[in-house]
Amino acid sequence: MATFFAIIGVIALFILGKFIYDTYLTNNTTRRWNVYKRNHPEDAAKVERNGGLSFNNKSQKTKENEKIETLNRLANNMDCLPNEVKEKFLAELNAEKTRPEECENLIKIFKEEKYKESQTFGIDIDNTIPAFFEKWTNEYLENKDYADRERTFDDVTTDLLYENPTLNKISKTGDINMITNYLDENNDVSMSFLRDMVYSDRPAENYRQKAIDKMYRGKDGFLVAIRLINKGLSLNELKTEPFLLSLRADCQFELGNFEEALNDMNKAIKSLNENRPETNFLSDFHLDRAKIKEEIGDLIGAELDREIAQKYNPKLENTEQQCRNSSILEKPISTNTKRLVKTDLEKFKLFENVKSIRESSYTVDRKTNEIVTGKIKDENFGKKGMSVLFNKKGYKLTEIIFDPYLERNERCFYHYDQVENIVEEKVYFDVNLIRHVTYKYDNIGDKNRLLSKQSKGSNSYIWKYKYNKGGRCIEIIHNSLEGKSHGKTTIRHNRKGQKIEEISYYESGIPYIENTFEYNKDGYSQERKEYLPDGCIELYVTSKYDNKGNLKYKEDYDNSTSFYYDEIGNVLQVININSLEHSIIHYSYEFDNKGNWIVKNEFSQIIEDSPYPCNVYIDSDYTIITKREIKYY
């Protein structure tokens, strides 16, 4: 036993001697401590603040007091209440349009500063002001709150690359094919980018659209929608505020919270009067409030709201009666006429609630069945590849078209008002804005009456529209952005409201082109003539339609084209005859379970005249295959 203690004593003397040697003779301890501080700054700060290797940690109560004192200091500096400090800090990040990479730099600074402040004030590192800022900035990044700031095209692109490191890495190579392949394989990334672009300058509207997506998915869907709406309201986007409140009222109504729904609808009507007095939605808002009041038993209040709604939007039959009683107004368009205005989904002949489509095409050698690389025929739009994002009403939000010949993307972004009138259109070639068009409408009578259209970019102009008392456009005045006259266009209509004549004039008042139009009994254009100033016909087009409104036959000068369709309106054959050649293009399809085609095969034949009783059909060597990826709401 004595031998054991002797060994322990020798070891202790050795350790003590080494400590004295390292500390006072060679300074090894200081060097090692500095290395430890660099590798473990937070632990080192705690050790130094506690005066060395002390095991007496501060009590939880002391730490809580430190936290309260720090928040009070912040509140005093930021001129707000302690419980408002975090919200104000995040709002400041948004107001400064802080980008994700800037947040990363701020976090590094806060990390360094919190150790200094910990030592200066003798408080726990986690209770310093920089520590709070670091924590909140991290939350700002994790929750993607940076997307709530108003963003440019470049901002959205930079954020996308930050959120997708793989795409960021690929983009630095500059390889367009690699980037395109990545986006093709990660459709959610590209769709998210498109949506962010559409609402880049209206983040609150972005939350409103996201809330609409979540609604009607059971109770949880409405609760999620309310949280998104609350986030949108916190951004104080005044023009969107009334519609966010109205949407939240819808959610509360569906959840059976009628008092909360009524409260939100009251706020929505007040906000609409204050922030969007030029709109036509007061009628709709009062009708919505009437519905809520009925549920809570306020029948008198509900009837009053209906009377107010009637005041803002008189019944259609009353308006028609006024038109019939007036010798000045033209006869309104018959309600029996087929609806000619189509949504974009209808124009694309898409069924169900389509959210997005992405088309890509390739050419296959019919003999070898191998994919052929290289350019594809210019005249066929489908070969260029495209993707389109629609809103729930069936109108385009974004459209991207890849042009392989110019090797660029044409990106179009569309904004609409609450009744789906287009109010803004932006067109980019890759990242360069080349056209920005804005539309303005009147707030009396017809909600769709366009007052002006302004374009900035490669083709800049301002068009102003004039209407007769029947509400039909009779003149379009063309000016430059500086107000210089570029002429005008006059329009005449028949008693059904259909355009029958359109004449364009130079600024001198001399006409330079005239178009006349004729229609069939269903309201479709069946003849168009274009005249030059000397009276000669420059263009003469005749058209025929089937009983479903599909174009069946079109002829202009020496060119005639016939179209044949399947029962749902997809083209099966196009026969084209002109002075140069006769051709037939054949189409076949594969469909998804919604009835929309997802694969289209295109194959053409050239018809040559022959001395024999029948013509000679020369088959094309290639089949063009177009594939669609369709997503639904």
Mean pLDDT of the chain: 76
pLDDT at 289: 92
Query: Does the pLDDT of residue 513 top 50, yes or no?
Result: yes
275 Cβ contact partners less than 8 Å away, ≥ 6 residues apart: 238, 239, 241, 242
Please check whether residue 201 is in contact with residue 151, taking contact to mean a CB–CB distance below 8 angstroms: yes
pLDDT at 613 over 50: no
pLDDT category of residue 519 using cuts at 50, 70 and 90: very high
The pLDDT of 108-121, averaged and rounded, is: 83
- Give the residue, 31 or 273, on which the prediction is more confident: 273
Q: Which helix (H) or strand (E) holds 183?
A: helix 176-185
* Weakest mean pLDDT among 213-227, 229-243, 563-577, 613-627: 613-627
**Tens digits of residue pLDDT in 400-449:** 887 766 677 788 999 888 778 888 898 888 778 888 888 888 765 444 57
Q: Give residue 287's pLDDT.
A: 87
Provide the pLDDT for residue 42.
Answer: 59
pLDDT greater than 70 at residue 480: yes
Per-residue pLDDT tens digits for 92-105: 777 677 778 788 88
pLDDT band at 453 (very low <50, low <70, confident <90, very high): confident
Residue 34 vs residues 29, 44, 50, 114, 502: alpha-carbon distances, Å: 9, 9, 17, 18, 84
**Rounded-to-integer distance, Cα 564 and Cα 395, Å:** 27
**Structure token digits, residue 417:** 């008002």
Cβ-based burial of 178 (10 A; exposed 0-12, middle 13-18, buried ≥19): middle
pLDDT computed for residue 316 by the predictor: 30
Q: Over 50: is that where the pLDDT of 586 sits?
A: yes
Q: What is the tens place of the pLDDT at every residue in 151-168?
A: 676 777 777 777 788 888
Q: How far apart are CA 570 and CA 628, in angstroms?
A: 15
Question: What pLDDT does 579 receive?
Answer: 66
Band of pLDDT at residue 16, cut at 50, 70 and 90:
very low
Asked if 211 and 247 touch (Cβ cutoff 8 Å), the reply is: yes
CA distance linking residue 320 with residue 180, whole number of Å: 54
What pLDDT score does 389 carry?
Answer: 92
Confidence of residue 516 (pLDDT cuts 50, 70, 90): very high
Question: 377 or 625, which is more confident?
Answer: 625
Higher pLDDT, 197 or 10: 197
Q: Which residue did the predictor score with more confidence, 356 or 186?
A: 356
Question: Model confidence at 395, in pLDDT bands (50, 70, 90)?
Answer: very high
Long-range contacts at 511-520 (CB < 8 A, ≥ 24 apart): 513/538, 520/545
CA-wise closest residue to 478 among 457, 460, 497: 460
The pair phi, psi for residue 435, each rounded to 5°, is -155, 135
Whole-number pLDDT of residue 502: 94
According to the per-residue pLDDT averaged within each range, which of 253-267, 309-323, 436-450, 600-614 is highest? Answer: 253-267
Which pTM value belongs to this model?
A: 0.49
- Beta-bridged to residue 466, according to DSSP, are 475
Give pLDDT, residue 142.
80
Distance of CA 312 to the CA centre of its chain: 31
Q: Looking at the domain covering 152-325, what would its CATH class be?
A: mainly alpha
Query: 147 near 203, Cβ under 8 Å?
Result: yes
So what's the pLDDT on residue 432? 80
- pLDDT tens column, 75-91: 888 888 888 888 888 87
The residues spanned by each domain of the chain are 1-38, 40-149, 152-325, 361-380+546-633
Q: What span, in angstroms and rounded, lies between the C-alpha atoms of 412 and 399?
A: 5
Q: Give residue 30's pLDDT band: very low, low, confident or very high (50, 70, 90).
A: low
The answer to whether residue 21 scores a pLDDT higher than 50 is: no
Instruction: Write 237-241 long-range contacts (CB < 8 A, 24+).
Output: 237/202, 237/203, 237/204, 237/205, 238/271, 238/275, 239/275, 239/276, 240/202, 240/204, 240/205, 240/208, 241/204, 241/271, 241/275
- Reading the block at residue 596, the tokens are 């929309």
